[in-house]
């Protein structure tokens, strides 16, 4: 089965009504609109996609024609039920491929995002369902983000931003808010990963930097760092 999955990565590409570019827009609107529940401004989408507002307007028209998005003047763009399902389908594939790359091919968590960005556009539903089964139906990706099921449902983790945790409280690292390669490399260099127990020893009122303890060592981190680590209090 492992060999079949590797072969199918390239063998199962096929034409679908939703293009690669459209999938990227749907995913961006979904994330910007808090899982598709809120309308998103054209300028916000343009900034996320690093393109012009006029290009976003053209794309929104295409998505609306396919009943994937709704646009209301002065309010912004939101996803339809079909649009949300299409967006969560892309997210599901992305996060499953990240699990596959880390668990089965030995990639580190800072290496997988860009590769998954390519693999997420593979269209075969059969391949993705078999991949899900092969991986044991994981609920979260290597960065702690929930993986949607085939119906778009996700099991969210109970989590708190480390920056909001008071001194003498502790918790287990369950995710990151910034999944950039540089940030993940910083965490790896300092031996912080999912499952690491972190205790807040002190917090500076001047700049909100904090001193934390984990793995029998202490580390001073900035507010920028603590704002991008999720923990589950214990």
pLDDT on residue 84: 95
Second CATH level (architecture) for the domain 160-233:
Roll (2.30)
pLDDT on residue 9: 52
Taking only the tens of pLDDT, the chain with its 234 residues reads 565 555 455 444 433 578 999 999 999 999 999 887 789 999 999 999 999 999 999 999 999 999 999 998 888 999 999 999 999 999 999 999 999 999 999 999 999 999 999 999 999 999 999 999 999 999 999 999 999 999 999 888 889 999 999 999 999 999 999 989 999 999 999 999 999 999 999 999 999 999 999 999 999 999 999 999 999 999
CATH number of 1-156, picked from 3.40.50.300, 1.10.287.3510, 2.40.10.10, 1.10.10.10? 1.10.10.10
pLDDT on residue 34: 85
pTM of the model: 0.82
Residues of the chain with CATH 1.10.10.10: 1-156
CA dist 98 → 24, 156, 161 (Å): 17, 18, 23
| Non-local CB neighbours of 54 within 8 Å, separated by 6+ positions | none
198 neighbors 225 (Cβ within 8 angstroms): no
**How do beta strands 170-176 and 160-161 pair?**
unpaired
């Amino acid at each position: 089965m492992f060999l079949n999955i590797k072969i199918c990565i390239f063998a199962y590409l096929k034409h679908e009504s939703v293009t690669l570019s459209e999938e990227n827009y749907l995913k961006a609107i979904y994330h910007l609109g808090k899982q598709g529940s809120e309308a998103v401004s054209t300028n916000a989408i343009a900034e996320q996609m690093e393109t012009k507002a006029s290009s976003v307007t053209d794309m929104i028209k295409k998505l609306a024609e396919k009943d994937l998005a709704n646009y209301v003047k002065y309010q912004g763009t939101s996803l339809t039920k079909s649009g949300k399902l299409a967006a969560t389908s892309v997210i599901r594939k992305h996060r499953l491929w990240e699990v596959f790359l880390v668990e089965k091919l030995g990639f580190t968590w800072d290496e997988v995002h860009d590769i998954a960005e390519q693999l997420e556009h593979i269209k075969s539903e059969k391949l993705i369902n078999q991949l899900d089964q092969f991986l044991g139906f994981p609920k979260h990706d290597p960065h702690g983000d929930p993986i949607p099921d085939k119906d778009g449902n996700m099991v969210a983790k109970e989590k708190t931003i480390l920056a909001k945790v008071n001194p003498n409280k502790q918790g287990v690292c369950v995710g990151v808010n910034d999944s950039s390669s540089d940030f993940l490399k910083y965490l790896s260099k300092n031996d912080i990963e999912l499952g690491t127990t972190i205790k807040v020893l002190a917090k500076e009122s001047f700049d909100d930097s904090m001193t934390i303890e984990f793995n029998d060592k202490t580390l001073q981190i900035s507010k920028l760092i603590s704002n991008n680590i999720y923990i589950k209090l214990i």
